Amino acid sequence: MADKYLLQLTGTQVDSRLESPKPVSQGGTGQSIRYNTVTVAYDTSVASDHAVTVRYYPYLGMCFIRGYLKLGNAALAANTAATVATIPEGYRPGSHTALSVSILGGGNCRVHSDGTVKLSRYAATTAGADLDVYFSGWWMA
């Protein structure tokens, strides 16, 4: 009875118990994978050099996004949202979700319930500006 608690087990005993997932009837989730990698569709009209990773974690029922892109393929007015990527159905948030973003001059980035990832900058962007943008965040899927 006492050996059912992981704190009372040795290292090899803990490893053997954590290797296989527990079924729901025994208090586990039944999941055997840590995450699924989700394929993202890119919109190259305003941004290039996309490197966006989306992972779905079934244990949490959440998605994580981390991305990089180069803004400047086309001119973008100040505070005007432009679509830079699209998340496939089944992994989209229930409502728009703000992401953490880093861009020269400031801006914001959001994932909308239709799956679009939209980026806006506080200042206007000219074509050929080549501004590096980094963003990341979590949402419930």
40 vs 60, more confident: 40
The pLDDT value given to residue 1: 44
For 99, phi then psi, to 5°, come to -115, 155
pLDDT tens per residue, range 88-141: 999 999 999 999 999 999 999 999 999 999 999 999 999 988 899 999 999 998
Q: What percent of the chain clears pLDDT 90, i.e. is strictly above it? A: 65
Residue 41 has which token pair? 């569709």
Domain boundaries along the sequence of the chain: 1-30, 36-140
DSSP code at position 43: -
Q: Which of 71, 66, 54 is nearest to 119 (CA)?
A: 71
- Residue 70's DSSP bridge partners are 48, 132
- Tell me the whole-structure pTM to 2 decimals: 0.77
Check if CATH label 2.60.40.1830 holds for domain 36-140: yes
Neighbour order of strands in the sheet with 97-103: 36-38, 47-57, 62-71, 131-140, 97-103, 107-111, 116-121, 82-86, 41-42
Residue 17 has pLDDT above 70, yes or no: no
pLDDT, mean over the chain: 86
Residue 27 has pLDDT above 70, yes or no: no
Under 8 Å CB-to-CB from 59, ≥6 apart: which residues? 29, 31, 34
Residue 35 has pLDDT above 70, yes or no: yes
Among the residue ranges 4-13, 77-86, 92-101, the one predicted with the least confidence is 4-13
